[in-house]
């Protein structure tokens, strides 16, 4: 019933007020916990620099074409994922939109828990400094009642912004918060360079071990990290682009957004690795625990005395800022779909869905094992599945995606469009299918471990 047709869809669809408003909101979606919390531990697992190199390749080869694919579908239809895929692909493809909504639901449910830790660390480091044993402290606050409180608080904030709407809520929050985050992270990178012993950190982070480049596990995690960090595979970019006027150069924007996201992740690495090596904390990050960043860095900041405390506050504030602009986009995918499909008001859609997600998140707030499990299922496997189906959709089902990519394209990128279409058709589906295959087995192992190993 909410299927808008030729005359412009739902009558009063809100649009972004400016080009930069859109770009910053999309960058806000991309830049988040994924760039710092996830990037640093996945990079550490993947051997440091080798992972970083593979990650760059994945961003360019898979990330940018996929981002462009999502953007054109959103802008062409001006509909949220379910409606957009139905309009361009028929009923069957609308199920992919539903998968996106489900994934948004699942990811936000645990993302908010980690964001809650972050906010708690920001407040604690400002008020009391970091406590003596960061490992113990983390296990005290990461799960149970304390985590639940912060999780609910973070969800309330997110719901509030999404409720206000695209221009006044999402766009304004991003315009204010993203530049703040950039400044803080760059400032921290300069500070990290002044630490004694940071050289070993740079070496680990920047000199690749070539043997790791062919390791399928590292390749798989580099691809998945690219999807997660660029917010691809669950319709977030599609949804934001549906609020876009028709005449922007989406090629340029896909490149800008991807590059900005990479720049923040890379710069965050220039903070995290020197700090960790300067203080000899390699071991606490090398393990694949979701808490690595939250254990290693507070310890480091604390060891640096007064200055460390200021820097620690800045770091966690930046992280919380990134988290909130990403959480907004996750909730927006769900909210906009509910508005479009069921005709609910924005306020009711955002509040009701937000509350359901908050309730689901109680499980992840209760146990970090559950959090890790949901991250593997939704953040790794389902995002890859979503990315695969999206590339098949745009490569094989959508009529003339190239024409849509060219609409508004400046001379700089117009020439590249035919090649991008070829990539989406021939390279992305098989490569991402391999990623899905490996993710399937990795997920099975995690699920078995969860139910078997207790
Ligand atoms: N890209 C966000 C981050 O890096 C997370 C995210 C994933 C947001 C998928 C939206 C969709 O933190």
Question: What angle do helix axes 81-89 and 305-342 make, rounded to 10 degrees?
Answer: 50
Q: Which fold has domain 31-452?
A: Amino acid/polyamine transporter I (1.20.1740)
Pocket flag, ligand 1, residue 229 (CB < 6 Å): yes
Q: Is the confidence at residue 438, as pLDDT, over 50?
A: yes
How far apart (Å, rounded) are the C-alpha atoms in residues 27 and 174?
Answer: 8
Name which residue sits closest to atom 11 of ligand 1, judged by CA. Answer: 231
Residues 372 and 445 sit within 8 Å (Cβ to Cβ): no
* Confidence at residue 10, expressed as pLDDT on a 0 to 100 scale: 46
* Confidence at residue 136, expressed as pLDDT on a 0 to 100 scale: 80
235: left (phi over 0), alpha (psi -120 to 50) or beta: left
Domain boundaries, the chain: 31-452
Q: What is the dihedral of CA 155, 122, 175, 74, to 10 degrees?
A: -40
Tens digits of per-residue pLDDT, 375-426? 999 999 999 999 999 999 999 999 999 999 999 998 889 999 999 999 999 9
Cα dist from 36 to 154, 235, 293, whole Å: 18, 22, 8
Mutate which of 113, 162, 178, 229 for ligand 1 pocket (most atoms within 8 A of beta carbon): 229
Residues 200 and 277 sit within 8 Å (Cβ to Cβ): yes
Length, in residues, of the chain: 454
Residues 428 and 227 sit within 8 Å (Cβ to Cβ): no
Which has the higher per-residue pLDDT, 309 or 132? 309
DSSP string spanning 78-96?
Answer: -S-HHHHHHHHH-HHHHHH
Mutate which of 158, 236, 320, 337 for ligand 1 pocket (most atoms within 8 A of beta carbon): 236
Q: How far is CA 287 from the centre of its chain?
A: 22
Query: pLDDT averaged over the chain?
Result: 89
Tens digits of per-residue pLDDT, 161-214? 999 888 787 887 777 878 888 888 898 899 889 888 889 989 989 988 778 788
Pocket flag, ligand 1, residue 231 (CB < 6 Å): yes
* Confidence at residue 305, expressed as pLDDT on a 0 to 100 scale: 76
Question: What angle do helix axes 134-142 and 91-127 make, rounded to 10 degrees?
Answer: 130
| CA neighbor of 385 nearest in space, from 21, 56, 96 | 96
Which range among 63-72, 191-200, 232-241, 383-392 shows the weakest confidence by mean pLDDT? 191-200
User: From the DSSP assignment, how many helices (H) and strands (E) are in the chain?
Assistant: 24, 0
Could you tell me the pLDDT band of residue 246, with boundaries at 50, 70 and 90?
A: low
Biggest CA pair distance of the chain = 64
Name which residue sits closest to atom 9 of ligand 1, judged by CA. Answer: 231
Mutate which of 101, 330, 334 for ligand 1 pocket (most atoms within 8 A of beta carbon): 330
* Confidence at residue 11, expressed as pLDDT on a 0 to 100 scale: 45
Q: Is the confidence at residue 453, as pLDDT, over 80?
A: no
* Confidence at residue 135, expressed as pLDDT on a 0 to 100 scale: 77
Q: Is the confidence at residue 7, as pLDDT, over 60?
A: no
Distance, first Cα to last Cα, the chain: 46
How far apart (Å, rounded) are the C-alpha atoms in residues 287 and 128?
Answer: 28
What is the average per-residue pLDDT within 312-319? 85
Name which residue sits closest to atom 10 of ligand 1, judged by CA. Answer: 231
Tens digits of per-residue pLDDT, 249-304? 999 999 999 999 999 999 999 988 888 888 777 766 555 456 777 877 787 777 77
* Confidence at residue 5, expressed as pLDDT on a 0 to 100 scale: 34
* Confidence at residue 12, expressed as pLDDT on a 0 to 100 scale: 62
Q: Which DSSP state fits 13?
A: -
* Confidence at residue 137, expressed as pLDDT on a 0 to 100 scale: 82
How far apart (Å, rounded) are the C-alpha atoms in residues 242 and 74?
Answer: 4
DSSP string spanning 261-286?
Answer: HHHHHHHHHHHHHHHHHHTT-HHHHH
Q: Where are the alpha helices (H) located in 281-345, listed in sequence order?
A: 282-286, 292-303, 305-342
* Confidence at residue 329, expressed as pLDDT on a 0 to 100 scale: 94
Q: What is the dihedral of CA 386, 388, 393, 394, to 10 degrees?
A: 110
Question: Each residue of 286-304: b (16+ CB within 10 Å) or e?
Answer: eeebbbbbbbbbbbbbbeb
Helix (H) or strand (E) segment spanning residue 433: helix 428-452
CA 33 / ligand 1 centre spacing (Å):
7
Pocket flag, ligand 1, residue 274 (CB < 6 Å): no
Which range among 103-107, 244-248, 271-275, 371-375 shows the weakest confidence by mean pLDDT? 244-248
Could you tell me the pLDDT band of residue 358, with boundaries at 50, 70 and 90?
A: very high
Pocket flag, ligand 1, residue 33 (CB < 6 Å): yes
CA 381 / ligand 1 centre spacing (Å):
14
Q: Which DSSP state fits 18?
A: S
Residues 81 and 340 sit within 8 Å (Cβ to Cβ): no
Angle formed at CA 442 by CA 437 and CA 444, multiple of 5 degrees: 95
Q: Is the confidence at residue 237, as pLDDT, over 70?
A: yes
């Amino acid at each position: 019933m909410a299927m808008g047709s030729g005359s412009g869809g739902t009558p009063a669809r809100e649009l972004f007020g400016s080009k930069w408003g859109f770009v910053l909101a999309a960058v806000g979606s991309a830049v988040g916990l994924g760039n710092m919390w996830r990037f640093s531990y996945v990079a550490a697992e993947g051997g440091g620099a080798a992972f970083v190199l593979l990650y760059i390749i994945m961003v360019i080869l898979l990330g940018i074409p996929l981002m462009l694919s999502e953007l054109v579908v959103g802008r062409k239809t001006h509909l949220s994922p379910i409606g957009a895929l139905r309009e361009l692909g028929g009923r069957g493809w609308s199920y992919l939109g539903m998968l996106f909504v489900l994934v948004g639901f699942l990811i936000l449910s645990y993302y908010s828990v980690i964001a809650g830790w972050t906010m708690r660390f920001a407040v604690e480091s400002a008020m009391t400094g970091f406590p003596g044993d960061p490992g113990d402290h983390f296990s005290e606050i990461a799960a149970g009642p304390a985590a639940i409180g912060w999780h609910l608080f973070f969800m309330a904030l997110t719901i509030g912004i999404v409720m206000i709407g695209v221009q006044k809520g999402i766009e304004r929050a991003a315009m204010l918060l993203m530049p703040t985050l950039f400044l803080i992270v760059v400032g921290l990178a300069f500070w990290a360079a002044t630490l004694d012993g940071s050289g070993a950190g740079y070496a680990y982070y920047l000199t690749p071990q070539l043997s790791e480049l062919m390791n399928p596990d590292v390749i798989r995690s580099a691809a998945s990290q690219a999807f997660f960090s660029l917010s691809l595979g669950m319709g977030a970019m599609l949804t934001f682009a549906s609020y876009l006027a028709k005449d922007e150069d989406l090629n340029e924007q896909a490149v800008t957004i991807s590059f900005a996201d990479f720049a923040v992740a890379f710069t965050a690495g220039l903070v995290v690795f020197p700090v960790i090596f300067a203080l000899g904390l390699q071991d606490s990050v090398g393990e694949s625990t979701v808490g690595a960043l939250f254990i290693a860095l507070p310890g480091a900041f604390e060891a640096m005395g007064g200055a460390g405390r200021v820097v620690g506050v800045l770091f966690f504030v930046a992280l919380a800022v990134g988290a909130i602009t990403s959480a907004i986009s996750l909730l927006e995918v769900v909210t906009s779909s509910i508005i479009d499909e069921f005709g609910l008001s924005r306020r009711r859609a955002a509040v009701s869905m937000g509350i359901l997600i908050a309730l689901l998140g109680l499980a992840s707030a209760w146990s970090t094992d559950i959090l890790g499990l949901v991250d593997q299922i939704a953040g790794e496997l389902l995002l890859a599945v979503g990315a695969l189906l999206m590339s098949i959709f745009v490569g094989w089902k959508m009529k003339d995606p190239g024409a849509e990519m060219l609409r508004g394209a400046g001379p700089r990128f117009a020439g590249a469009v035919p090649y991008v279409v070829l990539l989406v058709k021939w390279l992305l589906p098989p490569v991402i299918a391999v990623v899905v295959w490996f993710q399937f087995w990795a997920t099975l192992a995690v699920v078995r471990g969860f139910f078997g190993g207790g």
